Amino acid sequence: MAVTEKDLLTSRRARPPRGRRARFNVVTARNLVQAAFALFLLWSGWRFYLFVRHFETGGATPLVARPTSVEAFLPISALVSLNAWLGAGVVDWTHPAAVVLFLAILGVAFLFKKAICAWMCPIGALSELLARAGRRVLGRNLLLPAVIDWPLRSLKYLILFFFVYIVVFAMSPRASAEFLQGEYNKIADVKMLYFFTQMGPGVATFLVLMCLLSIFVANFWCRYLCPYGALLGLVSLFSPLRIVRNRDRCIDCKLCTKACPNRIDVARIERVDSPECTSCLSCITACPRRGALQIRPPLTQKALSPWVYGALIVGVFFAVVVAAQLVGYWQTHITYADYAQLIPNADWLGHY
């Protein structure tokens, strides 16, 4: 159920105790985790730029080790790899980390809903910062009416289904395996870098527009257009963990509803089942009544601590990554000679 303007105005009458708001809480910890991931990915992006630059200059600049973490931005390649693996039994050694990170992200979504969006995604972090800037300048973020909000939210699913159709249905497993061995896929990460370093005016205009819209409408890209978030939202519907509202302890202050950045009307539902939930834990942190909102595992009445929940989100993600490294499925088999041949000719390489 969407949040109305009246609900938000009503919720402002109630406030949690001042000390509760001021002290370090799990949302602050989440923001720190967000910042750490964003800084790490920025550092990785810079290192990857230096790596590519070495081959662009014919070895005139120092060689920097390729940061494997950049493969987190290759979900399409990972989806093609899974299609080839599950359909044809072909294991991808071109971008193995992309597959591992994709599966780790899906695993986190299954266990902890769309937690990746609120805890690790740099776009999510940027969206929150822009929305916060909008509230400071304008006093509040705009809430689009349901008649506009609902159709716009469907766009990200349409984009997702388009990619799934192209990769899973229009491309056979054997064709997927052939694509993985192609020259384009070998430097898909380089092509991704060039998307940002060599963007045209159309792409630049679109990115600026997304930033501006995110100032006025909180999480505009994430809420309406992100296909990755749409996929995680669908996976999260099967999550065994839910935020549950205890009616007996709820005081109807509606602070949880006001705190939710995804416009989920937490104060009016018993369980948060929405695919828009990112497990940001803002609702639990804002609640002034202990035990009114709880993270409840299945088949038990015992609540899971928000701190434990947050630690599990990060822990499960890294556990998958470490496990992949231990079994040897992490580093690419692309050689130095391959990069030396392909990167200088990257502009001439197409998908086929």
Summarize the confidence of residues 106-126 as an average pLDDT: 97
294 phi and psi angles, rounded to 5 deg: -135, 155
pLDDT of residue 8: 44
Report the domain count for the chain.
Answer: 1
DSSP character string of 45-64? HHHHHHHHHHHHTTT-SPP-
Q: Is 254 helix (H, G, I), strand (E, B) or coil?
A: coil
What's the length of the chain?
352
Q: Residues of the chain with pLDDT > 70: what percent?
A: 93
Summarize the confidence of residues 125-146 as an average pLDDT: 94
Q: What domain range includes position 264?
A: 5-13+22-348
Q: Is 294 helix (H, G, I), strand (E, B) or coil?
A: strand
pLDDT of residue 352: 52
Q: Is 295 helix (H, G, I), strand (E, B) or coil?
A: strand
Q: What is the pLDDT of residues 42-98, one digit of tens each?
A: 999 999 999 999 999 999 999 999 999 999 999 999 999 999 999 999 999 999 999
Q: Above 70 in pLDDT, residue 5?
A: no
pLDDT band at 351 (very low <50, low <70, confident <90, very high): low
Q: What is the pLDDT of residues 226-254, one digit of tens each?
A: 999 999 999 999 999 999 999 999 999 99
